[in-house]
Amino acid sequence: MTTKTAIVFPGMGPSRFAEVGKFLLLDPYARARLAEADEALGTSVFDNFREQTDDYSEFSQVAFLVNSMAMADRAEQTLGVVPDICAGPSFGQKAAAAYTGSLPFADVVRLTAELARLEEDFFGNEYTDVVTHSFVRTPEERLAEILADFDERGEWYEFSGHLDDGFTMLSLRERELEGLKERISKAGGYSMYTMRPPVHAPAFSALRRRAEQEVFPRYEFNDPKLTVVTDQDGTLVNSADEMRTMMLDTFDRPVDWPAVVATLKREDVARVCVTGPDNLFHRLDVTKDNFEVVTVGLPKRSRPPRKSS
């Protein structure tokens, strides 16, 4: 049996200029991609990124895309990575679309910027009090008790992702966040991070409709050159329409990384190459337990030294 390699573009974590600005300037692959992004947008991504402070701002997102693609270029040209299949959970869908040729890179840059502005407008007026909180090591029965309490009190919540055994992404009203953290801690769990704006919840179907009506008609998708695994349920994608649907599904369907892993296993994948500034997906047990994991990420020297407390 011939084993295969998958290229995985990670979801986006907080992307700060202080951490990646030097890499954008010095890495030859990043510089090349950055020049393409500048041309696509008609402005300096680097300069705009430097001025923005929001972790998920328009130019933070474009910079993350640039770095992810630059690291894929490096994986190909210096490590000889030749993937057989592709996955891009959450924000990683955008790099996956460019890498597989479903959209030209310049189009993905423009799409990323447009969707970032749309999300900022949407969440500036809708669900303004909602966040997405990620937590780990919370036993299933204890989480069920916590959510039963939400139900009894009529408090809204929706799942936004399942990343690993006991690793949950939950969207909820911000007023409930501290109480949730406290109960997670008492249950033996650990709170990871909180996202603003929130992501991947069924309640955000209006955002999906706006993206479909206002943004996506300007872009013509092609069939991907590599099969792509959807991050919502592990379905295999091989057509332009399927790629477009997958990228729209990200607005209102939760991420299911174990489903992606299961599909990759069925496709005889033995090695995954995670290319991008990833602090999460290559570390998950469900990833490490099932594959040889190769990471092509930010070099440590590009990160600022930690301040002593």
Place of tokens 């993350």: 64
Q: Within its chain, how far is the Cα of 248 from the centroid? A: 14
Same structural domain, 150 and 221:
no
**How many angstroms separate the most distant Cα atoms in the chain?**
56
Q: Lowest mean pLDDT: which of 24-28, 67-71, 89-93, 144-148?
A: 24-28
The size of the chain, in residues, is 309
pLDDT band of residue 17 (cuts 50, 70, 90) is confident
Look at residue 119 and tell me if it is in a domain.
yes
Residues 6+ apart with CB under 8 A from 303: 19
Look at residue 134 and tell me if it is in a domain.
yes
Look at residue 307 and tell me if it is in a domain.
no
Mean pLDDT of 255-268: 98
pLDDT digits (tens, 9 = 90+) for 28-70: 999 999 999 999 999 999 999 999 878 789 999 999 999 999 9
Provide the 3-class DSSP secondary structure of residue 174. helix
Tokens of 283: 């570390």
Q: What's the distance, Cα to Cα, between the start and end of the chain in Å?
A: 53
Same structural domain, 101 and 249:
yes
Same structural domain, 166 and 70:
no
Same structural domain, 140 and 114:
no
Look at residue 104 and tell me if it is in a domain.
yes
51: domain CATH number is 3.40.366.10
pTM of the model: 0.93
- Whether the CB-CB separation of 24 and 34 falls below 8 Å is answered with yes
159: domain CATH number is 3.30.70.250
Same structural domain, 27 and 103:
yes
Look at residue 145 and tell me if it is in a domain.
yes
Q: Determine which helix (DSSP H) or strand (DSSP E) holds 295, and give its type and residue range.
A: strand 292-296
Same structural domain, 165 and 250:
no
Average pLDDT, the chain: 93
Mean pLDDT of 90-116: 98
| Residue at 143: amino acid letter | L
d(CA 158, CA 202): 7
Same structural domain, 266 and 209:
yes
d(CA 40, CA 267): 36
d(CA 143, CA 184): 8
pLDDT digits (tens, 9 = 90+) for 105-148: 999 999 999 999 999 999 999 999 999 999 999 988 999 999 99
Domain end among 140, 167, 195 = 195
Same structural domain, 109 and 244:
yes
Tell me how many domains the chain contains. Answer: 2
Domain end among 195, 210, 244 = 195
Q: Which domain holds residue 191?
A: 130-195
Q: Within its chain, how far is the Cα of 110 from the centroid? A: 17
- Whether the CB-CB separation of 309 and 25 falls below 8 Å is answered with no
Residues 6+ apart with CB under 8 A from 61: 12, 15, 91, 112, 113, 116
Look at residue 309 and tell me if it is in a domain.
no
d(CA 290, CA 78): 25
What are the residue ranges of helices labelled H in the chain? Answer: 17-26, 28-41, 45-51, 58-79, 92-99, 105-125, 140-153, 177-186, 205-210, 240-249, 257-266, 285-288
- How many CA atoms, within 13 angstroms, populate the side-chain half-sphere of residue 272? 27
Look at residue 241 and tell me if it is in a domain.
yes
* φ/ψ (deg, to 5) at 299: -65, 145
Same structural domain, 65 and 184:
no
pLDDT digits (tens, 9 = 90+) for 170-227: 999 999 999 999 999 999 999 999 999 999 999 999 999 999 999 999 999 999 999 9
d(CA 294, CA 110): 29
Domain end among 140, 174, 195 = 195
Look at residue 308 and tell me if it is in a domain.
no
Same structural domain, 228 and 179:
no
Same structural domain, 144 and 281:
no
Q: Alpha-carbon dihedral of residues 78, 84, 88, 93, nearest 10 degrees?
A: 100
Same structural domain, 8 and 118:
yes
